[in-house]
Amino acid sequence: MSWFKEFFSGGIYDVLEDSWGLLLDLVPPAPGNFLYWLDGQPHPEIQYVSIVRTGPVGLGDELVPVYSQDMNNVPALRGRSEVRVAPAGHLLNPADGLLLAQLLNGAGTVTHGGEK
């Protein structure tokens, strides 16, 4: 039977099975789950940047909706994250390297409060 799972899942079945507990906690935040607890924890006073993938129809990538990609929707970070839109799918691509390098070098980023 294991060859059957391997054939149809490409080996990801065991990873998902081992990660099941964490994946259940990554459902939308609700009292009692991990993400709800995590969202309420204090976050450091640093610059936050949400890279939002719009995907082909503008609603998010194929795995994560736009709402879930914007850290401004986390109660502890509301209004503290600059949003950068990257019109791409979920997987990394070469343009992501350029965007990350620009962000890390401070090119074009806006700090909390709206000043460069």
Q: Is the pLDDT of residue 108 over 60?
A: no
pLDDT of residue 65: 83
Global pTM value: 0.65
Amino acid at 29: P
Q: Is the pLDDT of residue 91 over 70?
A: yes
The model's pLDDT over 15-67, given as tens digits with 9 standing for 90+, comes to 667 777 766 666 778 898 888 888 889 999 999 999 999 876 666 677 788 88
CA distance 67 to 54: 10
pLDDT of residue 107: 63
Residue scoring higher pLDDT (77 or 115): 77
pLDDT of residue 112: 43
